Structure 1
Amino acid sequence: MRWALSVGRLSEKIPPLATARAKCLQAMEMYGCDLGIASEGSFGAHPQLPLLPANQEWLICIDKKLGWECWAQTLSLETNFDAAEIAQEEQLRAFARRAGFPEHGLILRASRSDTSDICKGITSWQQLEEGFGRMLHRYGRVFVETDMRALYNPSRMKVIEEVGQKLLQQILTPCPGCSMPGYSLRQVVPGLPCRHCLTPSHSALYHVYSCQSCGYQHRQQHPQGVAYEEPMYCQKCNP
């Protein structure tokens, strides 16, 4: 049995899970492997907390011989994802400290939309100051951003470790229907009624567990162990 491991980004135009799957299959074909694993990450505003940045990571494992795949994903606020356009070295230093530099790498480029002049993987103050001085002289302003590639970003490494643990637990959980590994939580359905007014809330009414191989699934009603949500979490009682 041979393994293939793929971690780079394949495309910006397809969903993260599809990207991870395509990368995994591509690496397996390239190296003649029947078992592979690939990751994919995305960064941006949190879907429920849009003022906060978030890191979503996907990890997929594929076995060609069995015709089987298993994937896991996680969404984390533990990220230093950030960017700014600056014109002063003091601003650069403030940004770098906020981003956890030099443990976390930085990227410099001409502007948000211009990647013709770019310096990646900056991990020392000397590199940063020299690159900034050169670009500032050339463009008048410099776009600085956190380097989100995992090898330059310990915060992202921790999130990948977290999703790796989730994937491992799924692989170790057999399906009650077909016994294939990968039985796991796949959907959280909101609607737990408010204890006071009975209005459906955003809290989970039930969880759906399913098999990625045969499609077997079951619902876990009231996964938090309660039949009603407290009024303080109700959008009607406490808007």
Structure 2
Amino acid sequence: MFKGRKLLIATKHKKENVIAPIFEKELGVSCFVSDKFDTDTLGTFSGEIERKDSVLTTLRNKCLLAMKENDCDLGIASEGSFGMHPTIFFAHADDEFLIFIDKKNKLEIIARELSMNTNFNGSEIKNEVELLEFATQVQFPSHGLILKPSEKDISKIVKGITDERILKESFNEMMKEFGKVYVETDMRALYNPTRMKVIKTATLKLASSIRSLCPMCETPGFVVSDAKMGLPCECCNSATRSTLSFIYTCKKCSHISEELYPHKKKTEDPTYCDFCNP
């Protein structure tokens, strides 16, 4: 279905470095990038352009618009969000989504990777000592930095800083002009190797999902659509809140399949039973 076809990677931040090798190996496609569509028009991390839509809507639009500009029927795009972890308080997280669209075969497959492996951070800095302490904390200079007058003020902004001399010079210039400086991590993939690793993990997930075929019609993307709770307690046999099965659904023919005991265990420890350990 995909071998020998051209696959557009909609990016201007070097994400093809991790995406292309995986997809060329797993699907036999020929990957390429193009500057015909500027993905930054849909939003920037540094705030110059606000992302107006949800992550998934932005992701889909990014891929489809880039495909349209390049007259291509096979495309992939990624979109990340950074902030507090949705379930683990006081922890930052990188939430990466990837989408694969095949217009020819009317396919859309999405993968997600939520990771606490991120250096996402920002702080108002008063002097060079604080600046260098922050830089060390967020893995500078292998990871880039951004300077601006304040967190919300983008009247002046210096991005992609990976050199200490430039960091100090930009900081001092901004201090003279505004009397304060806000420093934050540059979360664009080409300036953030940690984020690039998360994108790679999400790419592997996406490739695996594409290779998963429906047993009835062999359409790619036969992946988990739901999970059933109810794994029995090994002590009292009551249903627990642990996963009993995964439900797989085909987006094309709607075939449904249930996989029992996906975590390779048929009972749950009484520690996680609401009756044995209320």
What is the letter of the counterpart of residue 84 of structure 2?
A
Q: Which one of the candidate residues 6, 9, 13 is aligned to 2:10?
A: 6
Distance in 1 between residues matched to 2:267 and 2:179, nearest whole Å: 58
Distance in 1 between residues matched to 2:243 and 2:90, nearest whole Å: 23
Residue aligning to 2:168: 129
Summarize deviations over 1:19-58 as a string: whole Å, max 9, x none.
1111111011101111111111111111121211111111
5 Å matches for 1:90-109? Answer: 90-109=129-148
Cα shift at 1:123: 0.6
1:44 aligns with 2:48: no
Cα shift at 1:97: 0.6
1:169 aligns with 2:212: no
Summarize deviations over 1:100-126 as a string: whole Å, max 9, x none.
100000111111111111111011101
Q: Which one of the candidate residues 171, 194, 199 is aligned to 1:160?
A: 199
Cα shift at 1:96: 0.6
Distance in 2 between residues matched to 1:123 and 1:140, nearest whole Å: 23
Q: Which one of the candidate residues 56, 68, 88 is aligned to 2:95?
A: 56
What is the letter of the counterpart of residue 3 of structure 1?
L
Q: Which one of the candidate residues 181, 186, 196 is aligned to 2:220?
A: 181
Summarize deviations over 1:126-180 as a string: whole Å, max 9, x none.
1111111111222222111100000100001111111111111111121113211
Distance in 2 between residues matched to 1:61 and 1:37, nearest whole Å: 5
Q: Percent identity over the alignment?
A: 45
Residues 195 and 231, structure 1, Cα contact 8 Å, conserved in 2: yes
Cα shift at 1:2: 4.1
Which consecutive unaligned segments of at least 5 residues does structure 1 have?
none
What is the letter of the counterpart of residue 110 of structure 2?
W
Residues 3 and 28, structure 1, Cα contact 8 Å, conserved in 2: no
2:165 counterpart SS class:
helix
Cα shift at 1:196: 5.9
Residue aligning to 2:68: 29
Residues 52 and 77, structure 1, Cα contact 8 Å, conserved in 2: yes
Q: Select between 92-101 and 167-176 the one with higher mean Cα deviation.
A: 167-176
Residue aligning to 1:145: 184
Distance in 1 between residues matched to 2:166 and 2:243, nearest whole Å: 49
1:47 counterpart SS class:
coil
Residues 69 and 212, structure 1, Cα contact 8 Å, conserved in 2: no
What is the letter of the counterpart of residue 162 of structure 2?
T
What is the letter of the counterpart of residue 120 of structure 2?
F
Which portions of structure 1, spanning 4 or more consecutive aligned residues, are displaced by more than 4 angstroms? Answer: 189-199, 233-239
What is the letter of the counterpart of residue 26 of structure 1?
L
2:111 counterpart SS class:
strand
Residues 96 and 202, structure 2, Cα contact 8 Å, conserved in 1: yes
Which consecutive unaligned segments of at least 5 residues does structure 2 have?
12-38, 44-50
Change (3 A) 1:174 1:134: same
| TM norm structure 2 | 0.77
Change (3 A) 1:150 1:194: same
Change (3 A) 1:89 1:204: farther
Residue aligning to 1:16: 55
What is the letter of the counterpart of residue 5 of structure 1?
I
Distance in 1 between residues matched to 2:85 and 2:231, nearest whole Å: 23
**Matched residue pairs, number?**
238
Distance in 1 between residues matched to 2:248 and 2:211, nearest whole Å: 15
Name the Cα RMSD after superposition.
2.3
| TM norm structure 1 | 0.89
